[in-house]
A = this chain, B = another copy of it.
Amino acid sequence: MSEKKFETLLVRVSKGVGVICLNRPTRFNAFDLKMYEEVIEALAWAASNPSINVAFLTGAGAYYSSGNDLTNFVKPFSEGPEAAKKMAKTSGDILLRFVNAFIRFPKVLVAAVNGPCLGIAVTTLGLCDIVYAAEKASFHTPFSALGQSPEGCSSYVFPKIMGPAKAHEVLYMGRKLTAQEAYERNLVTAVLPGDAEQFQKEALARTMQLAAFPPQGLVFTKQLIRSQEKATLEQVNLAEVKLLEERWVSPECIAAITNFMKQQQKKRTVKSKL
């Protein structure tokens, strides 16, 4: 039996492909602490499972993922500096391990971005090998507005992918990219047509074709390519996480996130009254 049970993920093996589907659709597949841990676990499982040649990451429902679940921060921020500090440390630890799981994944990793994609779900695409995007996918990293700084090695990888002038528009200015723009900026391998279901079917079919190639050739090629950047990526990950841990306890960042959460709350209240 090649399936494995998770709370926040749907996982299966099909024709050499290990499918990992983010499955918190009511929360737009936001990453709470549980989902961070389970993705780390699922990648370890895919790495060691001999019937998996290629891993395939996608999202259930309308979103690929809305990124870091900021509700993680609400309670600690309201409880004062000590609770905020503790939260920052916990979040930093898990983020470090989560991004390292992408950096160190030893097989080819395909992402199929079925819909909108935010924050950490965008930045880790730069650590995937092949990225398919649905026409309705979008890519948004609003770090600056929230007083935060980039993660997922995007501070290093995005300038290499897009060129600095266009990467900085994304990293500093929070420019939201359409699927076509993300393709033009080389974040995306190909934009595939069709609705969410057709998109995932086509992306998976292409991934199965890839998984049908001689598997050791793929694995050793991946390790060859990644070996050239691995040490640098691990250092960048560490530097990014250390900075974020400082940002998360800074008055500037706490004020920005708290203000953002209040506005979200208001929007929800207005909506529920309509």
Q: Smallest CB–CB gap between A146 and chain B, Å?
A: 8
A164 sits at the interface (CB 8 A): yes
A20 sits at the interface (CB 8 A): no
Residue of B nearest to A127 (CB): B164
With a CB–CB cut-off of 8 A, which chain B residues contact A220?
A: 149, 243, 246-247
Q: Which of A186-205 contact B (CB under 8 A)?
A: 186-190
A126 CA to B165 CA in the complex, in Å?
8
Q: Which one of B149, B161, B227, B253 contacts A224 once the chains associate, using CB atoms below 8 Å?
A: B149
Residue of B nearest to A128 (CB): B165
Q: Which one of B147, B214, B224 contacts A155 once the chains associate, using CB atoms below 8 Å?
A: B224
Question: Which of A7-15, A76-84, A167-175 has 4 or more CB atoms under 8 Å from chain B?
Answer: A167-175
A240 CA to B255 CA in the complex, in Å?
45
With a CB–CB cut-off of 8 A, which chain B residues contact A155?
A: 221, 224-225, 228
Q: What are some 19 contacts across the A-B interface (CB < 8 A)?
A: A129-B172, A130-B168, A130-B169, A143-B217, A144-B214, A145-B213, A149-B217, A150-B225, A157-B164, A162-B163, A169-B189, A172-B222, A173-B206, A214-B255, A214-B256, A216-B252, A217-B256, A228-B236, A228-B239
**Number of A residues whose C-beta is below 8 Å from B?**
64
Residue of B nearest to A182 (CB): B165
A35 sits at the interface (CB 8 A): no
Tell me whether B165 and A221 are in contact (CB under 8 A).
Answer: no
Residue of B nearest to A256 (CB): B214
Tell me whether A131 and B165 are in contact (CB under 8 A).
Answer: yes
* Given A172-B129, A228-B156, A228-B236; A165-B189 close (CB under 8 Å): yes
